[in-house]
Amino acid sequence: MQRGTFQLMKSVNKSIILNKIRTSEPISRAQIAKETRITPPTVSSIVKELIDQGLVKESTLGHSSGGRKPTMLHINTGAFYVIGVDAGPETVECILTDLAGGIFQRTSSLLEKPLTNDMFMAVLKENIDTILSQSSVDQEKIIGIGIAMHGVVDAETGTSLIAPILNLTNIPIKEALEKEFNLTVKVENDARAMALGESWFGGHGDVDSMAAVNIGRGVGAGIVISGKLYHGAQGIAGELGHMIIDMNGEMCECGNRGCLQTLVSGPAIAERGRKQLKERAGGLTAQDMFEMAQSGNQTCIDLFHETGSIIGIGLTNFIHLVNPSKMVLGGGVMKGEKFMMPAIVETIQKKALTAEARQTDVAVTRLGDEATLLGAVSLLLTELFDPVLK
């Protein structure tokens, strides 16, 4: 679908009704009118439009407490498709999904360093080209491309301002991709995209505020309040990895010392583990140490317990600042969940300020390795379903 076309379908009432069907399906026209307080004739008229546009479909008759049984409404998940991209810092992953996040196609590429902006954009374009050329779906039904990008992002302009692990700055991702593919492009920080994807696909129910924390090669967080991503005044809200824990600690890639990231990221765990294992360390990675912990190596088990305690400190600070209803943890490091989660929860319960804060719901993502990719997809879905016009 050409850039901007699907936005023409939007009106406030239409978006409210569409979102109500998405979150409550199957649902009848009468129930929509009751729950949204939009008049029944308006609901009927808009539902007809949505059916004509292919976004909504009718199903078998629902239950009736008397009188004629109502026809139930569902989202037609195959009406449109979205391309989602998880960009960096080690790989570029790309998927094509329907409106329910069902994956139809995927590609991936390693990012060979050192990179230039042009080299990075060439990898993005190559993966998107592959998706488009190999997919059998009607390309007119693709509503856009969502990019979950490592580092600091200006979401308004779709520019990657700083990608510290890639050592790149000021990449005009949105501008370049919209020119190349003539599709709507949304660019967001990867942790914030993950947070939106969790609120969209994670099955967390009607949570008013939640945060997602991505712990892998780096550490980042995203905050969703009333279904909206919170960016902060200068767009750096959620840079949890650069919360300073130890002013005299290890040097971080950002130039400061003792950031949380220098203690709990995958490379940081590997470095701490190698020091503790001494001459037996060799070139062991955090993954190797997790496997050793699985096999009963007490040094590695203690390493992950300690890491969980440090993560718990960072999350406690985050709870004190943001106070979300729920926190969802993802990223490669959280594959060590069974060794770390008890220490994470115990630390929060010991150090959080109030009894209520100590009970903050903390869980590991159920979306697994797809969390950030589905977050990228959700950047476009919010444009289609959001009841408030952008």
Longest Cα separation, the chain? 79
Task: Indicate if 211 and 349 belong to the same structural domain.
Answer: yes
What pLDDT digit, counting tens, does each position of 326-351 carry? 999 999 999 999 999 999 999 999 99
Question: What total of structural domains would you count in the chain?
Answer: 3
Task: Indicate if 361 and 378 belong to the same structural domain.
Answer: no
What pLDDT digit, counting tens, does each position of 275-298 carry? 888 766 568 889 999 999 999 999
Task: Indicate if 331 and 279 belong to the same structural domain.
Answer: yes
Is residue 390 very low, low, confident or very high in pLDDT (cuts 50, 70, 90)?
very low
- Of the two residues 207 and 266, the one the predictor is more confident about is 266
Residue 119 located in a structural domain: yes
Task: Indicate if 131 and 184 belong to the same structural domain.
Answer: yes
Residue 1 located in a structural domain: no
pLDDT, residue 281, reads: 54
Task: Indicate if 90 and 188 belong to the same structural domain.
Answer: yes
Domain range for residue 287? 204-365
Position 216 pLDDT exceeds 70: yes
High-pLDDT (> 70) share of the chain, %: 92
Task: Indicate if 177 and 261 belong to the same structural domain.
Answer: no
Region 97-113 average pLDDT = 92
Final residue before a domain boundary, out of 29, 58, 75:
75
Convert the chain into a string of H (helix), E (strand) and C (coil).
CCCCCHHHHCCHHHHHHHHHHHHHCCEEHHHHHHHHCCCHHHHHHHHHHHHHCCCEEEEEECCCCCCCCCEEEEECCCCCEEEEEEECCCEEEEEEEECCCCEEEEEEEECCCCCCHHHHHHHHHHHHHHHHHHCCCCHHHEEEEEEEECCEEECCCCEEEEECCCCEEEECHHHHHHHHHCCCEEEEEHHHHHHHHHHHHCCCCCCCEEEEEEECCCEEEEEEECCEECCCCCCCCCCHHHCECCCCCCECCCCCECECHHHHCHHHHHHHHHHHHHHHCCCCCHHHHHHHHHCCCHHHHHHHHHHHHHHHHHHHHHHHHHCCCEEEEECHHHHHHHHHHHHHHHHHHHHCCCHHHHCCEEEECCCHHHHHHHHHHHHHHHHHHCCCCC
Residue 390 located in a structural domain: no
pLDDT, residue 389, reads: 38
High-pLDDT (> 90) share of the chain, %: 62
pLDDT, residue 282, reads: 65
Long-range CB contacts for residues 50-54, cutoff 8 Å, separation at least 24 = 50/14, 50/17, 50/18, 50/21, 53/9, 53/79, 54/79
Residue with tokens 């993560």: 311
CATH code, domain carrying 239: 3.30.420.40
Chain centroid to Cα 118, Å, comes to 25
Task: Indicate if 234 and 264 belong to the same structural domain.
Answer: yes
Residue 41 located in a structural domain: yes
Arithmetic mean of pLDDT over the chain: 88
Task: Indicate if 66 and 141 belong to the same structural domain.
Answer: no
What pLDDT digit, counting tens, does each position of 253-269 carry? 888 999 999 999 999 99
What's the predicted TM-score (pTM) here?
0.82
Task: Indicate if 380 and 233 belong to the same structural domain.
Answer: no
Position 387 pLDDT exceeds 50: no
Nearest to 260 by CA among 245, 270, 238: 245
pLDDT, residue 62, reads: 54
Position 228 pLDDT exceeds 60: yes
Nearest to 82 by CA among 191, 193, 171, 176: 193
Give yes or no for a contact between 293 and 304, defined as CB atoms under 8 angstroms apart: yes
Task: Indicate if 359 and 210 belong to the same structural domain.
Answer: yes
- Other CB atoms within 10 A of residue 381 CB: 25
Task: Indicate if 259 and 282 belong to the same structural domain.
Answer: yes
pLDDT, residue 217, reads: 86
pLDDT, residue 234, reads: 80
Task: Indicate if 139 and 245 belong to the same structural domain.
Answer: no
Region 116-133 average pLDDT = 95
What pLDDT digit, counting tens, does each position of 354-368 carry? 999 998 999 999 888
Is residue 9 very low, low, confident or very high in pLDDT (cuts 50, 70, 90)?
very low
What pLDDT digit, counting tens, does each position of 62-95 carry? 565 555 677 899 999 888 999 999 997 889 999 9
Residue 318 located in a structural domain: yes
**197-201, 206-210, 223-227: least confident range:** 206-210
Position 7 pLDDT exceeds 70: no
pLDDT, residue 67, reads: 59
**85-89, 174-178, 219-223, 226-230: least confident range:** 226-230
